[in-house]
Amino acid sequence: MSTRGFPEEEYRDRVARAQAAMETAGLAALLLTTEPEIRYFSGFLTRFWESPSRPWFLVLPATGDPVAVIPSIGAALMGRGWVKDIRTWPAPDPEDDGVSLLTDTLRELAADGPVGLPSGPETHLRMPLDDFRRVEAAAISFTDDHGVVAQLRAVKSEAEIAKISRACTIAGKAFARIGEVARIGQPMEAVFRGFQALLLEEGADWVPYLAGGAGPLGYADVISPAGPAPLCEGDVLMLDTGAVRDGYFCDFDRNFALGRADPRAHAAWARLLEATEAAREAAQPGARACDLWRAMADLVGGGESAGRLGHGLGMQLTEGLSITAKDRTVLEPGMVITLEPGIETAPGLVLVHEENIVIRDGSAEALSPWSNGALPVIG
Amino acid sequence: MSTRGFPEEEYRDRVARAQAAMETAGLAALLLTTEPEIRYFSGFLTRFWESPSRPWFLVLPATGDPVAVIPSIGAALMGRGWVKDIRTWPAPDPEDDGVSLLTDTLRELAADGPVGLPSGPETHLRMPLDDFRRVEAAAISFTDDHGVVAQLRAVKSEAEIAKISRACTIAGKAFARIGEVARIGQPMEAVFRGFQALLLEEGADWVPYLAGGAGPLGYADVISPAGPAPLCEGDVLMLDTGAVRDGYFCDFDRNFALGRADPRAHAAWARLLEATEAAREAAQPGARACDLWRAMADLVGGGESAGRLGHGLGMQLTEGLSITAKDRTVLEPGMVITLEPGIETAPGLVLVHEENIVIRDGSAEALSPWSNGALPVIG
């Protein structure tokens, strides 16, 4: 249970599959600039990405191992991983912040063709635009990556699934202790602080995401930070967390009634459980993301406006498919997703429930401790 | 002490100063896509940026108030702030993820000239490149923002300084309790977890950054996550945290000897305090970042290879100037910076010390509890 990282074979397998897809797409190399993209192929895990001061690059050539082109401050940590070709510069350098070193590396490794850059949904280029234009001006030819990286990352290995499962277990244990930090009269910001501490105690390495809300009929949105307002009797408290263990997220929420709840909240809760169960039953290989959306939307109402009712999950809080009316992504074994139906209880107020599952041959497997029964009452 | 956010006048002042600089630079509008840039002008504070699934936009026209072009999931939270023109789309939409809405908004607000995009050091464009090219193809003309946003953000208001100061106070209280979580025999990952919990208990809203290391003569790098190795007698433990209160960071570290320390560690520590003090004395309006670097590098050695010995601080863990040999940024009252000298104690091992200050007319003011005396011994 305490093993961190992956064996080198896991990375070699990812590289081999990427290179096969790159050949089909006619890419001479991939240029990766963001945290999950670089970590996926190198194992480079650090919270230092919180600092925007330095760009980081990983170049994956059409054949051979990846090459790291990184600030010298990262050389020691990268050197403890499997990537052996590590080229560094003393960043930040206001005159040339890695531009020459990256350009030279791309010239060497991708002389024969275009360099693929992840450019589709959920991606961005994590380097200053001015510097990117300098690399382009040096006659490096870029194209999009044809979704190579996103498609690889969408299907998790058993080792990845085990890490997500562990993060889910940790959050489940913290939720089971909610009574220690959430009581009538407690300000929401204190509840948020206390719940993060519980997640850490139960084994989270860090807590990148926590949102929530409270009210008799739910909450106005699901992305707000906490304020000083206290919990009141009859409120439904929702906490939604993305806690990380060894670089992988869980992402699910729980709802708790404080003392008692309005019958409309109880009814909404029951409907949310039905919707989640219906989506889990529908979540079999070959089904599409929009099929899961339909299974839930039919129960929670709202038609096309029901929005996103779940998404992929892994190295990021949200990644990959979206459970919407428009997403036709076909489910495959190994995809890890959230089911996140929401139901309007009054104008502008919602209750949202969320669970995490992995697609298997046959029925999906729950990764979060599956919710059953009545809306839990605490406090 | 418990006031959150800023009054509307703070945002109006930021907008007015940006618009004055935009006029000089000949910009018809600014397009902002990242968390700190959008929050700086709108006050929009959420941890939901952890999700990469949706782009967010704020358009600041040459005259008038900012316009938010955002996913509908953020409308309720944005609507509680001062920005009143909020245009939304149901993201994520695989067919048109805000591209048309953004293009129409830019056509309306920037018909007469180029749109400035932050494109210099530390910036990136947080939207898919494919979608950005669609906006460009719709005849929207972009240029860089001439550093308008970075220059504004570099000098903090008194209200901003108060928030950073509070974050520093919180971290100082947590460091004062280090003995509760760091003992000989304790695995580093448990120390990291426990210290994050202390930060939360002392009032941090969340802990986006924690790094550290331990060894008799220091540590091989300052960006690594924790592993299972236990603390040993004679180790110097370093913890470096960026804790957040109300959207503003502290960023300083502390070193602690476990039981006893090698005389070389004690000597290095004394030299680090001298260097920090020298830089603080040099940190007066009119001095340049490279002057502070020189003041420290002369004491800690390493010449040009001494790297970055501090940086700006605020809404991000690191932002603005870099204390390097090459950075000629001139200090102004209201700039908040870190002083972060490092000293090599043995090949490949360093001790690093860090404090936070604000530049004032005359002498700089310490924001972190200033370290004095001998290397603290615990455990």
Tens digits of residue pLDDT in B18-73 = 999 999 999 999 999 999 999 999 999 999 999 999 999 999 999 999 999 999 99
CB contacts, 8 Å: A204 with chain B: 193
Region B246-269 average pLDDT:
97
| Number of CB atoms found within 10 A of residue A325's CB | 20
Q: Alpha-carbon distance B105 to A114, whole Å?
A: 34
Q: With bands split at pLDDT 50, 70 and 90, how would you rate the model's confidence at A346?
A: very high
Q: What residues of chain A, 263 to 282, have a C-beta less than 8 Å from chain B?
A: none
B/e letters for B305-326, b = 16+ CB within 10 Å, e = fewer, are ebbbbbbbbbbbbbbbbbbbbe
Which among B77, B193, B316 has CB closest to A221? B77
In the predicted structure, residue A1 carries a pLDDT above the cut 50: no
Q: What is the pLDDT of residue A307?
A: 85
CB of B149 within 8 A of CB of B40?
Answer: yes
Give pLDDT, residue B379: 83
pLDDT digits (tens, 9 = 90+) for B193-224: 999 999 999 999 999 999 999 999 999 888 98
| A 175-204 → B contacts, CB under 8 A | 189, 192-194, 196-197, 200-201, 203-204
Instruction: State the pLDDT confidence band at B1, using cuts at 50, 70 and 90.
Output: very low
Tell me the residue length of chain A.
Answer: 379
Residue matched to tokens 């605020």: B314
Q: Using a pLDDT cut of 70, give the percent of chain A over it.
A: 98
- Work out whether strand B252-258 and strand A206-215 pair parallel, antiparallel, or are unpaired: unpaired
Phi, psi of B26 (to 5 degrees): 70, 35
Q: Which of B200, B210, B349 to mutate to test the interface with A (most CBs of A within 10 A)?
A: B200
Cβ contact, residue pair B204, A194, below 8 Å: no
Whether B145 contacts chain A with CB within 8 A:
no
Phi first, then psi, for residue A137 (nearest 5°) are: -65, -20
Q: Which residues of B touch A203 (CB under 8 A)?
A: 193
Question: What is the H or E stretch that residue B264 is in?
Answer: helix B263-282
Find residues 38-57 of chain B whose CB sits inside 8 Å of chain A: 45-48, 50-53
Which of B139, B103, B146, B105 has the alpha carbon at shortest distance from B123?
B146
Q: Let me know: does B339 contact B355? Beta carbons within 8 Å.
A: yes
Q: Does any CB of chain A come closer than 8 Å to the CB of residue B316?
A: yes
Q: Which of B37, B44, B48 to mutate to test the interface with A (most CBs of A within 10 A)?
A: B48
Buried b (16+ CB within 10 A) or exposed e, B31-57: bbbbbbbbbbbbbbbbbbbbbbbbbbb
The β-bridge partners of B364 are none
Widest pairwise Cα distance in chain A:
68
Q: For chain A, what is the radius of gyration of the CA atoms? A: 22
Instruction: Give me the pLDDT at residue A2, please.
Output: 54
Q: pLDDT digits over A356-375, tens only?
A: 999 999 999 999 999 999 99
- Whether the per-residue pLDDT at A15 is higher than 50: the answer is yes
B129-137 vs B99-109: helix crossing angle, rounded to 10: 40
Q: What pLDDT score was predicted for residue B304?
A: 60
Question: Which among A46, A317, A319 has CB closest to B225?
Answer: A46
Q: Would you say B244 and B167 are in contact if contact means Cβ atoms under 8 Å apart?
A: yes
Asked whether this complex has an ipTM greater than 0.95, the answer is yes
A40, A14 in Cβ contact below 8 A? yes
Asked if B1 is an interface residue toward chain A (Cβ–Cβ < 8 A), one would say no
| CB contact (8 A) between residue A48 and residue B223 | yes
Whether the CB-CB separation of A351 and B121 falls below 8 Å is answered with no
Roughly how many angstroms between the first and final C-alpha of chain B, as a whole number? 33
* Separation CA A45–CA B229 (nearest Å): 17
**DSSP, res A277:** H
- Alpha-carbon torsion angle A257, A262, A268, A269, nearest 10: 20
Chain B residue nearest residue A44, CA to CA: B224
- Report residue A278 as tokens: 């219906």
Residue B305's pLDDT is what? 62
Strand, coil or helix: what is B339?
Answer: strand
For the stretch B132-168, pLDDT in tens is 999 999 989 999 999 999 999 999 999 999 999 999 9
One-character DSSP codes across B162-195: HHHHHHHHHHHHHHHTGGGT--TT-BHHHHHHHH
Q: What is the pLDDT of residues A57-115, one digit of tens each?
A: 999 999 999 999 999 999 999 999 999 999 999 999 999 999 999 999 999 999 988 99
Whether B205 sits inside 8 A of A197 (CB atoms) is: no
**Alpha-carbon torsion A93, A98, A99, A104, what sign?**
positive
Residue B270 has pLDDT above 60, yes or no: yes
Q: What is d(CA A364, CA B95) in angstroms, rounded to the nearest whole number?
A: 29
Which residues of chain B make contact with A220, given a CB cutoff of 8 A?
A: 76
Would the CA dihedral through B287, B288, B291, B293 be positive or negative?
A: positive
Is residue A290 scored above 70 in pLDDT? yes
Measure in Å the smallest separation between the Cα of A363 and chain B Cα atoms. 27
The closest CB to that of B122, out of A53, A210, A224, belongs to: A53
* B116, closest residue in chain A (CA to CA): A129
Question: Percent helix, strand, coil in chain B (nearest 5)?
Answer: 35, 25, 40
Cross-chain Cβ contact A128/B128 below 8 Å = no
- In chain B, residues with a C-beta closer than 8 Å to the C-beta of A47 are 208-211, 223, 225
pLDDT given at position A139:
86
Chain B residues lying within 8 Å of A94, measured CB to CB: 121, 322, 326-327
Domains and their CATH numbers in chain B: 8-154 (3.40.350.10), 158-378 (3.90.230.10)
Rounded CA separation B101/A346 (Å): 29
Could you tell me the CA-to-CA distances from A2 to A202, A234, A317, B215 in Å, in that order? 13, 41, 22, 22
**Is A303 a residue whose pLDDT tops 80?**
no
The C-alpha of B323 sits at a distance from chain A's nearest C-alpha, in angstroms, of: 10
Would the CB atoms of B46 and A225 count as touching at under 8 Å?
A: yes
Whether B197 and A201 lie within 8 Å, measured CB to CB:
yes
> Does B204 contact A193 at a Cβ distance shorter than 8 Å?
yes
| Whole-number pLDDT of residue A224 | 87
- From B82's Cα to the closest Cα of chain A, the distance in A is 16
Instruction: Select from A92, A94, A317 the Cβ nearest to the Cβ of B51.
Output: A317
Contacts of B211 in chain A (CB under 8 A): 46-48
Model confidence pLDDT, tens digit, residues B187-198: 999 999 999 999
* Residue A111 touches partner B, C-beta closer than 8 Å: no
Burial of residue B219 (CB within 10 Å: 0-12, 13-18, 19+) is buried
- DSSP letter (8 states) at residue A95: S
Supply the pLDDT for residue A379: 83
Half-sphere exposure of A327 (CA within 13 A, CB side): 24
State both tokens at A16: 């081999």
Write A173-177 long-range contacts (CB < 8 A, 24+): A173/A202, A173/A203, A174/A198, A174/A199, A174/A201, A174/A202, A174/A204, A174/A241, A174/A243, A175/A239, A175/A254, A175/A369, A177/A202
Q: What is the mean pLDDT of chain B?
A: 96
